[in-house]
Amino acid sequence: MAGRLKGKVALVTAAGQGIGRAIAETFSAEGAKVIATDLDDGKLKGIKAVGRLSLDVRSNPAVQQLAKDVKRKFGALDVLANVAGYVHHGTVLECTEKDWDFSFDLNVKSMHRMIAAFLPDMLKKGKGSIVNMSSAASSIRGVPNRYVYGTTKAAVIGLTKAVAADFIKTGVRCNAICPGTIESPSFRDRVKAHAKRSGKSLKAAEQDFIDRQPMGRLGTAQEVALLAAYLASDESKFISGHTHLIDGGWAL
Catalytic residues: 149
| Cα angle: 251, vertex 130, 147; to 5 degrees | 40
Residue 180: left (phi > 0), alpha (psi -120 to 50), or beta? Answer: beta
- For the chain, give the secondary structure using H, E and C: CCCCCCCCEEEECCCCCHHHHHHHHHHHHCCCEEEEEECCHHHHCCCCCCEEEECCCCCHHHHHHHHHHHHHHHCCCCEEEECCCCCCCECHHHCCHHHHHHHHHHHHHHHHHHHHHHHHHHHHHCCEEEEEECCCECCCECCCCEHHHHHHHHHHHHHHHHHHHHCCCCCEEEEEEEECCECCHHHHHHHHHHHHHHCCCHHHHHHHHHHCCCCCCCECHHHHHHHHHHHHCHHHCCCCCCEEEECCCCCC
Rounded Cα–Cα distance for residues 118 and 116 (Å): 6
